[in-house]
Every structure is written in C-alpha cells, then in structure tokens.
C-alpha cells in the first residue's frame, strides 16, 4: 500500500515564483521526513529534511512545513530558478525500520525563465 501521497505530479512555475509540493502520510510511526531532488540522468540527492518535533525548517530558498496533526508536510521553493527544474521526491522513515525510506511518486518541477 502507498504510505505517502505526493502532489502535484507536475508543476510549472515562472522564474521568481513560489513552488509548493505537498505530501500526506497515513502512519504515525514515522519520525524523519526528507526531500530529495533528482536531475535527469542522476541519482536523487538529499535536499532538506525535518523531524516531527519542529513545524518548519528553512535552508536558503527551500522550506519544509510540517503539520503533524494533519499528517502532511510540504516543500516550498521561494524565488524559483530555472536551475531548480528537477524531480522532487518526499520520503519518510521511522519506527525501527532499518532506516528504509518510503518515497512519494515524485513531482516534476519546471521553472520557466
């Protein structure tokens, strides 16, 4: 079964705009919520991550917002740039799972110049 639902599947944003990608999960046992960025032909790379004891984490133009009661977390990319065009995956792990990550299906972000 799918434990994390990611939306939208694709997103087109103008340069300078805000990109928002959402994920919702079902099980409350998770305790680590990373986001990965993947460029064509490359493996995913860790972008930013959050734990459920905080509601927001910001690193540069990238912010994760976390709503534990709603079991949702989102990635916000401020001042989006063409170089941000990539596929973004949310993921989660926890509960003594040998650090196995369960991934969302991904969002293809295109930032137009």
Please report, as ranges, the residues that interact with other proteins according to CB under 8 A. Answer: 6, 31-32, 34, 41-46, 49, 89, 93-94, 98-106
Measured from the CB of residue 3, what is the shortest distance to other proteins in angstroms?
A: 10
CB contact at 8 A, 67 and 73: yes
Residue number, 17 or 97, with CB nearest to other proteins: 97
User: What is the distance between the alpha carbons of residues 31 and 7, in angstroms, rounded to a whole number?
Assistant: 21
Between 68 and 100, CB nearer to other proteins: 100
Give 72 or 102: the residue with its C-beta nearer to other proteins. Answer: 102
CB 83 within 8 A of CB 112: no
Residue 41 C-beta: closest distance to other proteins, Å? 8
Query: Least Å distance between CB 45 and other proteins?
Result: 7
Q: How far is the CB of 16 from other proteins (least distance, A)?
A: 28
**Smallest Cα–Cα separation from 20: which of 29, 12, 32?**
12
Phi and psi at residue 82, in whole multiples of 5°? -55, -30
Pick between residue 66 and residue 89 the one whose CB is nearest to other proteins: 89
Measured between alpha carbons, how far is 41 from 34 in angstroms, rounded to an integer? Answer: 21
């Amino acid at each position: 079964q799918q434990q994390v639902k990611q939306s939208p599947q694709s997103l087109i944003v103008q340069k300078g705009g805000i990109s928002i990608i959402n994920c919702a999960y079902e099980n409350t046992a998770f305790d680590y919520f990373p986001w990965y960025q993947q460029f064509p032909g490359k493996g995913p790379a860790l972008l930013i991550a959050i734990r459920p004891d905080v509601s927001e984490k910001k690193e540069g133009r990238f912010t994760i917002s976390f709503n534990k009661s709603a079991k949702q977390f989102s990635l916000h990319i401020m001042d989006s740039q063409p170089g941000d065009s990539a596929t973004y995956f949310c993921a989660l792990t926890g509960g003594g799972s040998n650090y196995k990550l369960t991934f969302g299906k991904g969002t293809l972000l295109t930032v137009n110049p």
